[in-house]
Amino acid sequence: MVWQDRLDEIKQRTELARAGGEPDRIERQHARGQNTIRERLDILLDDGSFHEVGALAGAGLYEDGELREFTPAPYVMGLGKIDGRHVAIGGEDFTIRGGSAKHFHQRVKGGDVGGFPEELAREYLIPLVLLIEGGGGNVQRIASEGAPPLFAGNHQFMPAVEAMMYVPVVGAVLGFAAGGPAGRSQLVHWSVMTKDTSAVFAAGPPVVRRAMGQELTPRELGGPQIHVRQSGCIDNEAADEQDAFNQIKAFLSYMPSNVFELPPVAEFNGAPPDPEPLADIVPRDRRRPYQMHKILQATLDPGSTFEIKPHYGLSLITALARVNGHPVGVIANNPLAYGGALDGDGAEKQAHFIDLCDYFHIPLVFFVDVPGFAVGPEAERAATLKRGIRAAWAGMQATVPALSIVVRKCYGMAGMIPGDSRLRYKVAWPSADWGILPIEGGVEAAYRREIEASPDPEARRRELEDEFAEMSNIFRTAEAFGVEEIIDPLETRTHLERFVEHAYRVLPHELADGPKSRPGVRP
C-alpha cells in the first residue's frame, strides 16, 4: 500500500495513546478503588459504541525526525451510546500528569474548562457526559510555552455555556477535581460524585496550606459531606463508580436529547400504584408531620422516581418521575424538615429544578404543604427571602404546563411559588389549609395589643383563632372559585394522568422556539 508507513504510524500512536499512563500509575488508580478513564468508558457506554476523537493529540519526542516517545494528552473523548441513545463524552486521564493539561491544545481538546466535547454535543445536538478527575492548570505550561498564559476572556467558558443552552449536560466527579475540572463540574445540568473517592475544590490542599495555613485532607476540603450536603454544588452522591454510572443513565432517561425534542416516553404496562395509603396519610392535627415520600409512591409510576439533591435543602423534595411513562418534574414540600417551611437552600433547589424542567419541556407537578418561608435569625442570615423570591421568579418565567396539588398548608410568599404562570390550575385535598398567614401567627401579629389588653389573653387568643378558623374554611374558597377543585385523595392519580395527557399534547408547540430566553435580571 502506498501509504503503509503512515498507516503503521497511526496504529503505533493510537496504541500508545490507549495504553494510558505508566503501569504504576494505573495500579495506584485501581488501589484507590477507581477505574481508569478508558475502563469507565467501557463500563458506561453501550458495548462497542465508543468512537474516540483526538487519540493522536499529545506530546511527541523526536530524534532525527523519528518519533521516539509519545505522551498522550490527558483527556479521552469521543462519541458513544448510552442505552441506545447518542452522547458526546469525555474525561480526564488521571494516570497521565494527574489529568492536568500541559499544552494549550490539550485544554482545547477538553482537559480543562471546556472544549471539543462540548462542541460535538452542540453540533450533533446530543447529551454531553463529563467524567471528571483532574488537577486543572499546570505550571509546567510556563516552561513549555515560554510565558505565563493570560486567559483571553470568555473563550474558556463559551463551549460549555453553549452546550448547556442546547443539550442536557451531566458531570460525574470520580476522583479529585481542582481548578478547571472543578469549575467544569458546575457547568452542568446535573452532577454526581462518588462517596469515598472524590473531592471538588477551586484549589487543593497544597494551595490552601500555602495560602491560609490550614491543613486539610481533600475530602475535608471538598468531599461529598461538603458539596452534596452543605454547599449543594453537587446534586447527588453515589456509593461507587458503578452507582454513578447507573445514576447518569437514570437522569438521561428523562431528558430529551436536545431542546428541539420532547422527553422520551417510556412504555408503561404495569399496575398503577395503590392509592389506599392516601386516605389516612395526612393527620387531623395540623402540627403533626407525615411522610411526603409515601404520597409520591402512591401517585407516580412505581419505581420511576429519581430524586435530585436528596441531601440538600431537606424541606423540599425535587424528583424526576413518570406518570403512565411520561416524564414529569415533581416538587414537594417535606413536612418532616422544618415543618415544610421553605429555607434558603430549599428555595435555591426549587429555582434550579424549575429552570431544568422548563428548559427541557418536562411538565411540573407540585405537592404543596408549605407554611411559608423559614423564619428567624438563621433564615435571615441565609438570605432566605432573596433566594425564595428567586424561586418565585423562576416559577413565573416557566412556560411548561404545571399542576398544583395542595395537600395541606399553603401560606405566605412561599405558597405563591407553586403553579403554572399561565393557567394556574390547582386542586386541593380535604386536608388543605391556606391563607395569607397561618392563623396562629397571623392572629398574634394582627391582634397583639388587643390580646395583651384582655383580662384573659390566652382565652382571647383562642377565641380569635377559632373565629378565623371558621372563616378559613376551604369550601368558601371553592365557592369563590379560588381553587378549581377539591378532590378525594384517592383520585389524585386520575388527575395526574389527565394532566399529563393534556400537557404532552401541548408541549410540541414549544419545540420550534428552541432555547428559552430568560428576560430580566433574577433578583
Per-residue pLDDT of 383-442, as tens digits, reads 999 999 999 999 999 999 999 999 999 998 898 888 766 777 899 999 998 876 676 667
In a domain, 19, yes or no: no
CA–CA distances in Å: residue 38 to residues 62, 85, 252, 480: 27, 20, 21, 63
Do 180 and 47 lie in one domain? The reply is: yes
Whole-model pTM?
0.91
Q: Total structural domains in the chain?
A: 3
Do 441 and 426 lie in one domain? The reply is: no
In a domain, 329, yes or no: yes
- Chain-centroid distance of CA 362 in Å reads 14
What is the average per-residue pLDDT within 169-185?
94
Could you say which of 254, 285, 303 is where a domain stops?
254
Task: Work out the pLDDT band at 325, boundaries 50, 70, 90.
Answer: very high
DSSP assignment of 162-224 equals HHHHHS-EEEEEEEEEEHHHHHHTTSSSEEEEETTT-EEESS-HHHHHHHH-----HHHHHSH
CB 433 within 8 A of CB 410: yes
Tally of helices (H runs) and strands (E runs) in the chain: 21, 18
More confident residue, 167 or 25: 167
What is the average per-residue pLDDT within 169-182?
94
Instruction: Residue 152: give the domain boundaries.
Output: 24-55+66-254
Provide the pLDDT for residue 434: 86
In a domain, 418, yes or no: yes
Do 303 and 234 lie in one domain? The reply is: no
In a domain, 204, yes or no: yes
pLDDT in tens, 248-297: 999 999 999 999 999 999 999 889 999 999 999 999 998 899 999 999 99
The β-bridge relationship of strands 169-178 and 190-194 is parallel
Do 293 and 415 lie in one domain? The reply is: yes
Give the span between the Cα atoms of 161 and 154, in whole angstroms.
Answer: 10
Do 249 and 347 lie in one domain? The reply is: no
Do 381 and 339 lie in one domain? The reply is: yes
Do 170 and 41 lie in one domain? The reply is: yes
In a domain, 443, yes or no: yes
What is the average per-residue pLDDT within 351-374?
96
CB 366 within 8 A of CB 388: no
Do 453 and 423 lie in one domain? The reply is: no
